[in-house]
């Protein structure tokens, strides 16, 4: 098991409901020692829009986001980690409803491990199937590219 997997497993086994299982793809470097971000800082860090962040919160994809005394959202490093996982799940093509269900299961606690496993395993099978389709498509493109490159060389040598 890698350090990342160990960290992810530890994060999911904690009792806190807003933990995630994967670090985000970093667009910007997090400030050292900082664990309190405004929505604009999260937008800059993740590349998501403020509208998307609010929507994630509204549909239950994000855990409860703390607020400042003036009512502004305050995100933590755990929130950023969670958004990183959500981004990866989006890339898999997982439906939003399944992502929300996964988030609910994480918040419900350890007794949901099997359901989480099944949800992620089904997504993994879908991803592997799509990868195989893309590899087949790439092979067709490679054959066509080779054909045109060879044909172009043949034409060029005939002309000279």
Cross-strand pairs, 74: 66
Q: What pLDDT sits at residue 63?
A: 84
> pTM of the predicted model, to two decimals?
0.71
Per-residue HEC secondary structure of 103-157 comes to: HHHHHHCHHHHHHHHHHHHHHHHHHHHHHHHHHHHHHHHHHHHHHHHHHHHHHHH
Tens digit of each residue's pLDDT, the chain (160 residues) = 433 443 444 444 444 443 444 444 545 566 666 789 999 999 999 999 999 999 999 999 998 899 999 999 999 999 999 999 999 999 999 999 999 999 999 999 999 999 999 999 999 999 999 999 999 999 999 999 999 999 988 888 888 7
105 token code pair: 């299961």
């Amino acid at each position: 098991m890698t350090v990342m997997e160990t960290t992810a497993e530890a994060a999911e086994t904690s009792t806190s409901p807003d933990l995630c299982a994967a670090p985000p793809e970093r667009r910007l470097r997090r400030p050292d020692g900082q664990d309190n971000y405004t929505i604009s800082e999260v937008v800059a860090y993740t590349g998501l829009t403020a509208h998307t962040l609010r929507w994630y919160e509204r549909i239950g994809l994000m855990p409860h986001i703390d607020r400042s005394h003036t009512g502004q959202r305050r995100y933590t490093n755990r929130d950023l980690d969670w958004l990183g996982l959500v981004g990866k799940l989006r890339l898999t093509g997982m439906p939003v409803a399944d992502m929300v269900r996964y988030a609910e299961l994480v918040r419900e606690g350890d007794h949901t491990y099997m359901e989480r496993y099944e949800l992620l395993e089904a997504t993994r099978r879908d991803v592997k199937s799509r990868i195989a389709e893309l590899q087949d498509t790439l092979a067709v493109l490679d054959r066509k590219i080779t054909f045109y490159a060879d044909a172009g060389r043949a034409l060029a040598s005939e002309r000279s």
